[in-house]
Every structure is written in structure tokens, then in C-alpha cells.
């Protein structure tokens, strides 16, 4: 597993292109999932694992539980839940054609506002069919999870998507399509905003979306013989110590998915596209530190919100949509 992570990280650094992934990286998603799981009751944890193991066979969701079979059961369940948070990225793999066609949904991973930057503020532009539907899907999956009549198969897919999309919409660039003269149709969440010099070969290009997606893993790299689970655990504990749940409870706004998205989007004109960010240049250390601090808080908030939502639903199951 550690070797696999190293390969993924090195590949990401070497092969970054303008068309980089439209999802937070594994470190971000698994950290969010770890924080969430710590907020959940034993009943909710067990209910969720049971439902996930009832997933449709063609999704391969249930099969992942069998990995690391020699591990103690408690650790297997933890690692399984962390992996589930990345399932909607795993199904992007085209070599598994049937799974890809059925479960891969590219425009579910983001929910963009099209906007121009005017005086450090966002001037919202007319919408586009290419803006993504993350919030819409979160609302629908929330209904499925709460519906006592829904099958465990349907609920398993809903849980996996919610575990992923909550993390996605807390990454500011998953809510943004900045319109400029160079990008009149939006910059695709920063994917078109290059941080490497003009003329850099495509395979060596680095863009703003990747910079924010991978900020946690690049600032807290995997070292030595640390296994993935311990690595994620250490990051999550660092973040929750810095941003304890008691400080976040007043702003959880459970079920208010659109408000979560709007809060994330509000970071774009002031913090993401700040005056010190210059196209075709590597961001400064000051910018990197700012992005890292914002991302830590966003991961903590996403984890607390995800955990409280799943805890609310699966500790005492109810029927009907979120408020």
C-alpha cells in the first residue's frame, strides 16, 4: 500500500496537465473520511459498513472490504471507510468498461459558479450547463439515505457518493469557473490557470486546481515506513487538534448543502485568486502557507459535517429529506 501511494504521488508530480483530475486527491478525501468517522456513533459506523457491503456487485464497493484481510476487524473497517470516500474517483478507470459507464459521473464532482473578478470581488455571470451538479446530487443522495423504503444497494451508492462529494465542495475550486479574456467560458476550476512558465511542455505543466487539491499531501508528505492508514490518522489528528469540533459545531448547518458550497465559493475571489497569485509563476511561500491553512480548516469542516450528517441518519434512521 505504501508503495502504491508513492507511485501515485510521483506520477501526479510528473504527469500533471491542464486536464488534471477534477477531484480532491486521496489524502484530502481520506482525511475527511477519518475525521467524519470519529464523529460517528458505534451504531452509525456499523450500519454504514453493513450497508456498504450490500453494494451492487458491479460497483465493486463491497469487494474492497476484503482487502487487508489479515488486519484486525476494527482496522479493516476503518481502512474500508477511508477507501470508500475515493470510490467515485476509482470508477474513472476506463479499463473496467462496464463499471466506468455505469458509475463514473464527471460533472457530479463539482458545482461551479461562473464569475468575473472585479476589484477583489466576484461578479457572478450567467450559468452554464457545464457547471456541475454536486449540490443537486448531495440533496438527492441525502433523501435516499434517509428513506426507510430505499434498498441497501441504493443506500450504499448514496453513502459512497456523499462521502466523496462533501469533500469535493469544500475545495474552493470545485465551486468556481472564473471567466477572463483568456478563459471566456471559465477556467474549469483553475485547471486552465497554469503555474508553470509559458511554453512549458504539456506533460510538465502544473495548474492551480492541482495546487489546491494536493496542498495537504505536499506539505505533510508520507515518510519512512509509515503505512497509509497511520499517515492519514496523523494528518487528521493534527487538523482536528487545530480545529476542534467544539469550534465548528455552530457552523455545521447540517443539510444545508447549498450554503456549504456557497461558503467554499466565497474563498475564491479573496483567497484563491488573491493579488499575489500570478499566472505562469509558482505561487509564493506566503500563498502556499495561506492555501495550506485554508485547506486544513476546510478538511476539518467537511469531516465534521459529513460525520454529523451520517451520524444523524444512521444512528436513528428517519424518513424524508434533510431540512
Q: What is the pLDDT of residue 317?
A: 52
SS3 85: coil
Residue extents of the structural domains in the chain:
2-315
User: Which pTM value belongs to this model?
Assistant: 0.89
SS3 80: helix
243: left (phi over 0), alpha (psi -120 to 50) or beta: beta
Q: What is the pLDDT of residue 20?
A: 33
Query: Could you identify the residue written with the cell 503555474?
Result: 195
264 contacts 172 by C-beta, under 8 angstroms: yes
Give the mean pLDDT per block of 10 residues along the chain (323 residues). Answer: 36 32 71 98 97 97 82 92 97 96 98 94 84 97 97 98 98 98 96 97 97 96 89 97 97 98 98 97 98 98 98 74 41
**Which residues are within 8 A (CB) of 42 and not within 5 positions of it... i.e. 6 or more apart?**
none
Q: Looking at domain 2-315, what is its CATH homologous superfamily?
A: P1 Nuclease (1.10.575.10)
Residue-wise over 148-167: b if at least 16 C-beta within 10 A, else e?
eeeeebbbbbbbbbbbbbbb
CA atoms of 1 and 276, how far apart (whole Å): 38
Query: Could you identify the residue written with the cell 476542534?
Result: 244
What's the chain's length in residues? 323
Q: What is the pLDDT of residue 68?
A: 62
Burial zone of 5 (CB within 10 Å; 0-12 exposed, 13-18 middle, 19+ buried): middle
**Which residues are within 8 A (CB) of 305 and not within 5 positions of it... i.e. 6 or more apart?**
166, 252, 253, 254, 260
44 contacts 311 by C-beta, under 8 angstroms: yes
**Which residues are within 8 A (CB) of 170 and not within 5 positions of it... i.e. 6 or more apart?**
32, 260, 264, 298, 299, 301, 302
Amino acid at each position: 500500500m505504501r508503495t502504491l501511494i508513492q507511485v501515485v504521488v510521483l506520477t501526479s508530480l510528473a504527469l500533471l496537465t491542464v486536464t488534471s483530475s477534477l477531484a480532491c486527491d486521496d489524502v484530502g478525501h481520506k482525511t475527511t473520511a477519518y475525521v467524519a468517522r470519529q464523529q460517528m456513533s458505534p451504531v452509525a459506523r456499523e450500519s454504514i459498513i453493513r450497508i456498504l457491503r450490500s453494494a451492487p456487485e458491479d460497483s465493486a464497493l463491497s469487494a474492497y472490504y476484503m482487502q487487508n484481510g489479515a488486519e484486525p476487524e476494527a482496522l479493516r473497517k476503518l481502512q474500508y471507510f477511508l477507501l470508500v470516500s475515493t470510490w467515485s474517483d476509482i470508477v474513472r478507470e476506463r479499463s473496467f468498461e462496464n463499471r466506468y459507464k455505469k458509475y463514473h459521473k464527471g460533472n457530479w464532482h463539482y458545482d461551479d459558479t461562473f464569475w468575473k473578478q472585479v476589484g477583489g470581488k466576484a461578479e457572478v455571470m450567467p450559468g452554464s450547463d457545464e457547471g456541475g451538479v454536486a449540490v443537486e446530487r448531495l440533496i438527492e443522495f441525502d433523501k435516499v439515505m434517509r428513506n426507510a423504503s430505499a434498498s441497501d444497494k441504493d443506500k450504499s451508492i448514496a453513502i459512497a457518493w456523499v462521502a466523496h462529494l462533501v469533500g469535493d465542495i469544500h475545495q474552493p475550486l470545485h465551486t468556481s469557473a472564473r471567466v477572463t479574456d483568456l478563459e471566456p467560458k471559465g477556467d474549469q476550476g483553475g485547471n486552465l490557470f497554469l503555474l508553470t512558465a509559458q511554453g512549458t511542455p504539456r506533460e510538465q505543466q502544473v495548474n492551480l486546481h492541482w495546487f489546491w487539491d494536493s496542498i495537504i499531501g505536499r506539505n505533510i508528505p508520507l515518510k519512512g515506513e509509515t503505512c497509509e492508514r497511520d499517515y492519514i490518522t496523523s494528518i487528521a489528528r493534527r487538523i482536528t487538534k487545530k480545529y476542534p469540533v467544539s469550534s465548528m459545531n455552530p457552523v455545521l448547518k447540517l443539510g444545508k448543502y447549498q450554503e456549504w458550497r456557497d461558503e467554499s465559493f466565497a474563498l475564491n475571489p479573496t483567497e484563491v485568486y488573491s493579488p499575489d497569485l500570478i499566472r505562469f509563476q509558482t505561487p509564493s511561500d506566503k500563498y502556499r502557507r495561506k492555501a495550506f491553512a485554508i485547506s486544513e480548516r476546510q478538511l476539518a469542516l467537511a469531516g465534521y459535517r459529513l460525520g454529523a450528517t451520517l451520524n444523524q441518519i444512521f444512528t436513528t434512521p428517519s424518513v424524508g429529506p434533510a431540512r
